[in-house]
Structure 1
């Protein structure tokens, strides 16, 4: 499934995989806000793309009219949808990544089961592990004076923290990383690859759940299995498989993209890097600003019926891309939106989404980002991107650097 023809008109023919858009989508968003704030395309299965803060907020809150049952941003062709419907698990559980892939009422009780594990207090249980991990990763390359800050650092932290959270085998983290890329990056344009690794992930977590059913403990997976739905009925183990699927899909690429984007920023903006090294008390506001400016995630919704919004009619079955990154650059909401202001005083960003589907794991993501960046700056305060042309970015569902070569004074 490819759509590689050049874009003639971004308002009627946008392409989220266009190489220029992946490198820097902001100019396109600026253009669309002025002349076509809810754009449309027939590429990649067809979709609508809002670019204004108020529109993204409003559309994200249209539940269940805009259903979250299919949260990826590209649509499989009809023959693949037919194949999916022959899968009894898909037929019963859909995308099977509750609560993000569910509408009420299932959304409510599955989210309720997760939230106690992601409060600000609960995520502190992973602080020391994350701190030790960040230092261990830096130990591996600090003597060299060079590193791939994405591949050797940013991308290594979230998979291991998620494995620690779920108490599963950390030796599988390289598999986790590749599986997620096959869903959220490579698989967006290759549906067969997406389906293959969706099943790989499902099979893996079925094994995890079966083991915990046989040998329950006081960990995360057993706690979910011990939960009940709104009717007081025990949770279906396959629903827990889907909730674990969500932790992997939503908890890895998103956070490593945020960490990597922040390191890219400081590695290419010396004044901001020097300021953070000199004023570490700025980290709370700086992290929120980096989340705003480099918001990684765009979620998909599907119209469950014809939906009218302003002058736009979204036909039943159409995709709407919840363009949180564009909303966070809206000049109607943010002063100097195209600048990173490390001490921005008022920051109403929606990097973690809006409405009932706002990211349940935002506290854990902030913890990982805070520890990853503070630890890097404590040990490598003086660094720069060594080859800007070698930096590569992923686009589509989650935008962030995949290769980020940096250099710094060697510790040896």
Structure 2
């Protein structure tokens, strides 16, 4: 077998046509407007190969196929028999346990997903709504008279993260430490393993406490009581599930809130429309989810196959980003335009297929309530003049800060 071609920034397998090689990295170089930057990839090949991957967990660069069309990304997400998600991130700390159900393929995946689904069902989220609204209002009331805020620090992380910590039965006093862990695991390849080890040690303590004193109604104790078929979760399965819930609850909604509020701050006409007619907010939030998704995921080919006319070999990494699927001009008319009344709005922001986001109902309702209550209480707001946005890349993109300003009525 011939050796792969070696490039300055990585390597390319010998079965990859040279014309399909394009250096791209979802971790770096995304600029202040990452969604527009990523959408530029639609001008190139339908499928290309980058010698770099945001999922790279090794010392040597690992390349990936990048899919740009929503149709192909759906196939990758749906066909777990061809594109596996069984890639334990615990390898970063020298271990082999799986994040459950994320790193489990069907049919085994369904055995783990089924007992988790009721925890985030529409009915369960409806029960949570009074608390969602109470915390939202409390946070806004504390900052509305200040004329400005750093949105992510003061609200964007406080609201969804505190809600999730309450669901897990964890103290909000450690929120900043938890967020630092999540940021490192998601955005910092070099220090990821160390942060994962610290999270695991913390969760081992929490699980041990609940073995002695189970806490009714909170997620950690509920996971510990779950069964796969007719047997209890093993200790590793409990850890893998609780770890995934913990990290998942600390980052994605924070990023989504930031990009959606940034859009409203930069587009006063649409902000005014939602103020004038709050009934538009649910559809508007759906369009903002489409326009500003934050997740990029990858799979490993389980056998030699072909996708969109491109030959993919067993063991190749294949990447599909929501930033590409929701900006696909063959899927959406004028995808670069944010249309708050867009209908239909068939997007993959919450993924597709068996691994569709477990917390999608909670995320939707949190952001709907956040916008409703913010617009009721805070005057028209804009981005603070002179702001330069810094993008945090990786499997979940984010922004470092979102300074907002407004003027109180005289």
State the TM-score, normalized to the length of structure 1.
Answer: 0.87
Q: Could you tell me which residue of structure 1 aligns to residue 56 of structure 2?
A: none
Residue 165, structure 1, aligned to residue 167, structure 2: yes
Is the CA contact 1:328–1:349 (under 8 Å) kept in the aligned structure 2?
yes
Q: Does 1:100 align with 2:102?
A: yes
3-state SS, counterpart of residue 321 of structure 1 = strand
Cα deviation 1:292-350 (Å, max 9, x = unaligned): 00011111222233332232223333322221221111122212211111111210011
SS at match of 1:140: helix
Following superposition, the deviation at residue 25 of structure 1 comes to 4.2
Alignment of 1:326-341 (within 5 A): 326-341=324-339
Deviations 1:168-203 (A, max 9, x none): 122121121111101111x23x2xx11111111112
Aligned to 1:59: 76
Match of 2:87 among 61, 70, 74: 70
d(CA) in 2 for partners of 1:151, 1:390: 16
Secondary structure class of the residue paired with 2:394:
coil
Q: Any stretches of 5+ residues in structure 1 without a counterpart?
A: 73-79
Count matched residues. Answer: 386
Distance of 2:288 and 2:377 partners within structure 1: 20
Residue by residue over 1:366-406, the C-alpha shift from the partner in whole angstroms, topping out at 9 and shown as x without a partner, is 12111111111111141000135333222221123221111
- Report SS of the residue matched to 1:275: helix
Q: Confirm whether residue 384 of structure 1 aligns to residue 401 of structure 2.
A: no
Does 1:111 pair with 2:113?
yes
1:184 counterpart residue number: 186
C-alpha change, 1:388 and 1:67, in structure 2 (3 Å) is farther
Counting only pairs closer than 5 Å after superposition, residues 12-411 of structure 1 correspond to structure 2 as: 12-21=22-31, 23-30=33-40, 32-44=41-53, 45-70=62-87, 87=94, 90-91=95-96, 93=97, 96-185=98-187, 187-188=188-189, 190=190, 193-219=191-217, 220-230=219-229, 232-387=230-385, 389-410=387-408
Q: Could you tell me how far apart the structure 1 residues matched to 2:154 and 2:20 are?
A: 36
C-alpha separation in 2, matches of 1:380 and 1:257: 21
Q: Aligned residue for 1:75?
A: none
Distance in 2 (CA, whole Å) between partners of 1:99 and 1:298 is 17
1:267: how far off?
0.5
CA distance in 2, matches of 1:373, 1:383: 12
* Whole-angstrom CA distance in 2 between matches of 1:307 and 1:205: 40
The one-character-per-residue Cα deviations of 1:88-131 (angstroms, maximum 9, x if unpaired) are: xx33x2xx321112112431121112101111110223322222
Partners of 2:28 and 2:240 in 1: CA distance = 31
1:392–1:404 CA contact under 8 A, matched in 2: no
1:62-106 CA-partner distances (Å, limit 9, x unpaired): 21322112387xxxxxxx96x85xx4xx33x2xx32111211243
Instruction: Give TM-score, length-normalised by structure 2.
Output: 0.88
Please, which runs of 5 or more residues in structure 2 have no aligned partner? 1-7, 11-18, 54-61
Off by >6 Å, runs of 4+ in structure 1? none
Counterpart for residue 77 of structure 1: none
Q: Distance in 1 between matches of 2:147 and 2:280?
A: 26
Q: Distance in 1 between matches of 2:377 and 2:21?
A: 46
Distance change in 2, residues 1:20/1:215 (3 Å): closer
- Greater helix proportion: 1
Alpha-carbon RMSD across the aligned residues, in angstroms, is: 2.3
Report the Cα distance in structure 2 between the residues aligned to 1:268 and 1:242, rounded to whole angstroms.
40
1:21–1:68 Cα change, 3 Å? farther
How many angstroms apart in 2 are the aligned matches of 1:28 and 1:210?
Answer: 44
